[in-house]
Amino acid sequence: MIFAVLRVAYFPDSFHEINGVAHTSRHFEAFARRRGLPFLCVRAGNRRPRLVREGHITTLELPRGPISFGLDKDLRFDVAWIRHLPSIARVLREFRPDIVHITGPSDVGIFGAVLANHYHLPMAAAWHTNVHEYAAKRADWLLRWLPEGHAPVAAQYIEGLSLDASAHFYATARVLFAPNPGLCNLLEAQTGRPCHLMQRGIDTYLFSPEHRNRAPQDSDFVLGFVGRLSVEKNIALLAQIQQELEARGIRNFRFLIVGQGAEEQWLRERLPRAEFSGVLRGEALSRAYANMDLFLFPSHTDTFGNVVLEALASGVPAVVTPDGGPRYIIREGATGFSVQDADFSAVVARIMGDPALHLTMRTAARRDALGASWDSVFEDVYAAYRQVLPDSPAAAP
């Protein structure tokens, strides 16, 4: 495909952090760099303002200020981001984009949307995080003080209100992207805008069974988890799985937990035999995945689940919930299972008790992951741009 004349201005929520948006954003810029496509990336950074032009790629990195506040462990919102508006507007005018692409209602995304509207530029918006579900989960600490029976109703109200607000914001875009079909259907119904899949790719050299280096005498069945140790990831289920497996008389297993978060101490107290590695990157992360035997991902809120795809590429089948994006990554019964919380331990016990099934699933997981590539993901994104853009490039802002 040829996209030489299409100029994209990209405003991601995060770029340097460790999360799905940042992971996708780095690969998006790398794709444009490989293809020689004109690409502007406006993002937040921890250093002084920095504008870099390298061939077809322009990056404007701006610091968040001291009055920014944390939305999550690795994501902040700067209420004074407007101070950067003149710099962003100047670079945008010089770049002359055909389309502005934002990743959500963050400080960066909001001003990307403001400028797209001001300069009458078509906008694309990608939905990466189920903000409405996160809002309800994060309100649990407050809702528990309500009279019995009121908390579920209040949580549902908060989730609905958050979804309505998000949909109103996303409806300002010309075209939407989401990482799974269920979300695309939801967004189209809520906004009336067309939604296209923007899934995630995988580096099958970095994530590979070849990195497995466990000692031959290590006969434990290793149950793995990679991600933020927080309430919205439903990590309490891991402790429940251990308890239920032991009640079945199964003890030849241990957990390998990769990540950090507010619930880490709670989990350490309940998984005494688990190995907690903290946050890993690069080859250390590759080895951790490859040394697992089964990947457990109990989250109900993830829109895609990069970690599930990374596990499959490492030859590790996965057990996930039937909610959100991970269920679209696995092939049911072939590379994993999607089950309710109450059924996790039964499925784990079944796989542990059937070595032939486990081996077949490991092989299938690796084979499926080999068919995913970042280039195909972003080629589809550019094709979707074309469907909503006029035949000729947009005029200068």
pLDDT tens-digit series, residues 279-310? 999 999 999 999 999 999 999 988 788 899 99
Into which CATH architecture does domain 209-369 fall?
Answer: 3-Layer(aba) Sandwich (3.40)
The predicted pLDDT at position 393 comes to: 47
Domain boundaries, the chain: 8-201+374-388, 209-369
What residue ranges of the chain have pLDDT lower than 70? 1-4, 69-74, 130-160, 390-397
The predicted pLDDT at position 200 comes to: 84
The predicted pLDDT at position 361 comes to: 98
| Superfamily for the 8-201+374-388 domain | Glycogen Phosphorylase B; (3.40.50.2000)
The predicted pLDDT at position 134 comes to: 47
CA distances 302 to 19, 134, 308, 334, 370, Å, are 11, 10, 11, 21, 22
Q: What is the pTM of this model?
A: 0.71
What type of residue sits at position 379? E
The predicted pLDDT at position 305 comes to: 85
Phi-psi region of 273 (alpha: psi -120 to 50; beta: other; left: phi over 0): alpha
> Does this chain's domain 8-201+374-388 share its CATH topology with 209-369?
yes
Residues 19, 129: contact at Cβ < 8 Å? no
What type of residue sits at position 248? R
The predicted pLDDT at position 148 comes to: 63
The predicted pLDDT at position 259 comes to: 94
CA distances 118 to 94, 113, 216, Å, are 15, 9, 63
The predicted pLDDT at position 60 comes to: 96
